[in-house]
Structure 1
Amino acid sequence: MSFVQQVRALLSRRGMSVTELGDLIGIARPNVSATLAGRHDARSNTLDALAAGLNAQWVLVPNEHLAAVRQVLAGKGTGPDLEAPSAAEMFVKARQ
C-alpha cells in the first residue's frame, strides 16, 4: 500500500475529510488534495505534517521485512507474549 493510500485509509478510519486534515495541519485543502493526487512532489515536512495530523508516523521498511510488517498491520502477525513470564521470573520461581 502506497503512502498516499495509507493516508486516505487513515482519513477514512479517523472520519476526517481532506479539508479537516488541512485545517488541522495548516495546509490549504487544495495543496493537501494535490499531494494526495500526486500532482506535485511533497516535501518531507509536508509528509510529517500529514502523518502527525492523522496521529501516525511514516517510516521506511526494508524490503526484506516488508512481508512481516504487512502481516502485523493486517493483524495476522505475531508478537511477543506479554503475559509470558520472563527468563528472570522463571529463574526466581524455580529457585523458590
Structure 2
Amino acid sequence: MSLLSQSQSMRSRRGMTIAELSRMIGMAAQNLSTILQGKKDSRASTFESLAAAMDAEWVMVPKEKLAEVRQVLEGKGSGPDRTARSTLDYLLSQ
C-alpha cells in the first residue's frame, strides 16, 4: 500500500475532508488534493504534518516485517489479549 493510498485511507477513516486537513497543516486545499492524487510530489515534512493532523505516525517498515505489520493494521495480527484480566486484577478480586 503506497504512502498516498495510506494517507487517503486514513483521511477517510478519520472522516476528515481535504479542506479540514489543509487548514490544519497550513496548505491550500487544491495543493493538498493534487498531492494526495499523486499528481504532484511533496516533501516528507508534508506527510509528517498530515500524519500529525490525523493523529498518526509516518514510519518506515523493514520489508522482512512488512507482512506482520500489515496483518496488525488489518486487525488480523496476534498480540496480547487486552480484554483478559491481569494477574493483579485477579489477585485483587480474591
Aligned partner of residue 13 in structure 2, secondary structure: helix
Give identity over the alignment, percent: 48
**Superposed CA RMSD:** 1.8
Structure 1 stretches (4+) deviating beyond 3 angstroms? 80-86
Deviation of the 1:22 alpha carbon: 0.2
- Cα distance in 1 for residues equivalent to 2:81 and 2:13: 28
* 1:35 corresponds to: 35
- Cα distance in 2 for residues equivalent to 1:3 and 1:11: 12
- Cα distance in 1 for residues equivalent to 2:45 and 2:11: 19
Larger Rg: 1
**Alignment-mate amino acid for residue 52 of structure 2:** A
Q: Which runs of 5+ in 2 are unaligned?
A: 89-94
* 1:94 corresponds to: none
Deviation of the 1:84 alpha carbon: 7.9
Give TM-score scaled by structure 1 length.
0.80
* 1:93 corresponds to: none
Q: How does 1:6-25 map to 2 (within 5 A)?
A: 6-25=6-25
- Please give the per-residue CA displacement for 1:53-85, whole angstroms capped at 9, x wherever unaligned: 111111111110000000111111111356587
Q: Which runs of 5+ in 1 are unaligned?
A: 90-96
- Cα distance in 1 for residues equivalent to 2:38 and 2:4: 8
**Alignment-mate amino acid for residue 59 of structure 2:** V
- Cα distance in 2 for residues equivalent to 1:44 and 1:3: 11
Q: How does 1:9-88 map to 2 (within 5 A)?
A: 9-81=9-81
Give the total of aligned pairs.
87
